[in-house]
A and B are shown apart, each in its own frame.
Chain A
Amino acid sequence: DAKTTQPNSMESNEEEPVHLPCNHSTISGTDYIHWYRQLPSQGPEYVIHGLTSNVNNRMASLAIAEDRKSSTLILHRATLRDAAVYYCILSFDYGGSQGNLIFGKGTKLSVKP
């Protein structure tokens, strides 16, 4: 399985941008890059996903390196509600495991007022 590597924890100040990095050097051509987050005592929540091009939605932006071996989730203005564990996950688009999410340890984001 293609693996991802993320920092264990990061800190941010409220109302400042946050860049959450993810390395996925063994990514294959049909793997999608997904980001989910999990707030305390809640189920994970979908944030964004992409394949090759950068993506934007109402929650965040996803910047994907040209070689696709790394990506960055960008929260444009962190709020206290954004404090969560952020998971970067590769989702296969082939084979019997396609669409499955294999969660790694994620990055715990703390947001200071």
Chain B
Amino acid sequence: DAMVIQNPRYQVTQFGKPVTLSCSQTLNHNVMYWYQQKSSQAPKLLFHYYDKDFNNEADTPDNFQSRRPNTSFCFLDIRSPGLGDAAMYLCATSRGASGASEQYFGPGTRLTVT
């Protein structure tokens, strides 16, 4: 089945130690999104790629970076994780970027910062 895959499902990192989260998709979708969801809160969009074009949300901290080396893969890099970055990180894809586009979400990676 076509899907959005996130690895690992659980990640523990130390305060200040860089960490990379991975997302891959078999849907061949043009757009890939990263969201942050803290405990008991709604998902918050961090940034997205339309093909190779990167679009950052205005309030996304500089500590968060992303790479999309090809259509299938997208990475979220947290350069110096703080305790406040502990959250579920969700990857999503969509075929296009219009108001009618449906997004397909992965299961998420739960990040713990110690």
Contact = CB atoms under 8 A, between A and B. Distances in A.
Contacts of B101: 91, 99
A44 B100 contact: no
A43 B37 CA distance: 10
Contacts, number: 63
Contacts of A56: none
A96 B31 CA distance: 14
Nearest to A94: B99
B90 A98 contact: no
Interface residues of B, number: 25
Given A43-B105, A44-B105, A46-B102, A99 B31 contact: yes
Contacts of A45: 105
A22 to B, nearest CB: 14
A103 B43 CA distance: 6
Contacts of A31: 99
Contacts of B92: 43-44
A97 B105 CA distance: 19
Interface in A17-49: 30-32, 34, 36, 38, 42-46, 49
B64 interface: no
For the complex of A and B, 5 pairs with smallest distance between CB atoms? A93-B99, A43-B105, A99-B97, A103-B42, A32-B99
21 contacts: A31-B99, A42-B108, A43-B4, A43-B92, A43-B105, A43-B106, A44-B43, A45-B105, A46-B102, A46-B103, A49-B102, A51-B99, A51-B100, A87-B42, A91-B101, A93-B99, A94-B99, A98-B98, A100-B45, A100-B48, A106-B42
